[in-house]
Amino acid sequence: MKDKWTAEDVPDQHGRVAVITGANTGLGFETAKALAVRGASVVLAVRDVDKGKQAAARIADAAPGADVTVRRLDLSSLDSVRAAADELRAGHPTIDLLINNAGVMYTPKRTTSDGFELQFGTNHLGHFALTGLLLEAMLPVRGSRVVTVSSVGHRIRSEIDFDDLQSERSYSRVAAYGRSKLANLLFTYELQRRLSGTGETIALAAHPGGANTDLGRNAPAIVRALATALGPLLAQSAAMGALPTLRAATDPKAQGGQYYGPDGFGQVKGNPTLVKSSGRSHDTAVQRRLWTVSEELTGVTFPV
């Protein structure tokens, strides 16, 4: 019996619409390509439209006849998120998959156009708002899923400090990233609880382990040096890193509230399997409080 889930296990996706953030490169690109190969209508929701068009052309080369479109989305701007959501709803009355993949990592201290700390604002608040604005197009769709990409970094210096959410008192690029990735999981679990009575849409999370992408370009120099030296031990290809997301998005056996990651030692490399997140990510009081604060900060409320 086969025990390793691969891209070959992605079921037929014809008739399904998949919106993927940050899909012009890395994990998002590999996720989009795999879904397009299986017949999905894929929307690359990206900040740089030109790079998105180049990615769409590469996907078309791999999947002749693929239905791939590009939409501009800058998750660090709530105005951009709202505009993108309006365009997506107009072009796609129903959406089967929303994959919240885009992210920034270890950036110097900066804020979004709305004044949020950049990593928290982009990785969590931008995706929170986008999901809330698109959810009505998903709720009637049988088998629809929201998949949010977290990280093993959600365990590292990741407490949600509600008294300093925007890191105004002190800033650590590592702690801010960990906080944003913990927020992705807190959001997923609370969303699933709210969806549990709808019967159609579910929410899941995934993480890629150590994937060879350009996400770590803002890491401190010593971290980049170690990653280069130990790359073969600590990282796998972007295509392998995308597999947990693909499994969460397409495996018929996947259930709401599940979390997928690599099956190797330390969840760094390997094929996708069910994994556990930190105990902190399952704190229901923090989940609910973060949800309320996120609604207040973004001005987006959910139809569930």
Q: Are 124 and 177 in contact (CB under 8 A)?
A: no
What average pLDDT does range 113-123 have in this prediction? 98
Backbone angles phi, psi at 141, to 5 degrees: -90, 115
- Quick: pLDDT tens for 166-196: 999 999 999 999 999 999 999 999 999 999 9
Token pair for residue 46? Answer: 């990206």
Where in the sequence numbering do the catalytic residues fall?
Answer: 177
- Nearest-10 Cα torsion for 182, 184, 185, 187: 120
Region for residue 106 given its phi and psi (left: phi exceeds 0; alpha: psi -120 to 50; beta: otherwise): left
Residue type, 234: L
For β-strands 259-262 and 17-21, DSSP reports them as: unpaired
- Strands of the sheet with 259-262, listed across from one edge: 67-72, 41-46, 17-21, 97-100, 145-149, 202-206, 259-262, 272-274
Q: Residue 199 — pLDDT band, cuts 50, 70, 90?
A: confident
- Quick: pLDDT tens for 18-52: 999 999 999 999 999 999 999 999 999 999 999 99
Token pair for residue 51? Answer: 């790079």
